[in-house]
Structure 1
Amino acid sequence: MRIGELARLTETPTRSLRYYEDQGLIAPQRLANGYRDYDDYLIDRVLQIRGLLDAGLPTRIIKQILPCLDSPRTIHFADATPEMLATLEREREQMTRRIQCLTRNRDAIDEYLATVRSLA
């Protein structure tokens, strides 16, 4: 499929897809005319990348763990190094702090909305 179709199917800007390619996160085939040709499996791969980015993982970490992704949204480490585990533990702690912050903000907004609606 062409880049525009992958962008549409994954709701990802084409610019982001080119960035993922530049970072070595995806590797489309090149047709004789130079156009990129994306395999269907890249739909799930792009969704995985976006999910990991949304979770706060940097592309350098994503690039390291992508070879360990054997099916959509499942991460396995056969030979994880202590350094990789330590890095992932730090990233997980940062995610936890972001989740706690988002939860507090969501709860504050809920409280505000409830108060405003009760006054109306």
Structure 2
Amino acid sequence: MARPSPSASSDPDRLGPDEFVDAVLDVVAGIPPGRVMAYGQVAATLGSRSARGVGRVMSRYGGEVPWWRVVRAGGLPPSCHDDEALQHYRAEGTPLVTRADGGYRVAASAFL
């Protein structure tokens, strides 16, 4: 994994840039198959309120971890990755709910 520059995502309240990236990726790597966490939950696990910081880390470095297990608070998959995430959810047996518009979201029962 390429290391972030000092100007990359960080949580100045707790961790430096490298530590925040590593901590986010460690939390995400630990989410079990079939379960998810919201960006804010990942941040809270680290003692942060920076859900957006988690999103930035995931967009830049998340390819090495099960990125589909981090969803938006309402259970929606990561932006622009609906189809690819759906394949992973089905393979892992993640509980899903069909929305009125034909889309889907991850069921509340899947959240840690």
Of Structure 1 and Structure 2, the greater helix share is in 1
TM category (shorter chain) comes to: under 0.3
TM-score (norm 2): 0.26
Considering Cα pairs closer than 8 Å and 6+ residues apart, tell me whether 1 or 2 has the greater RCO. 2
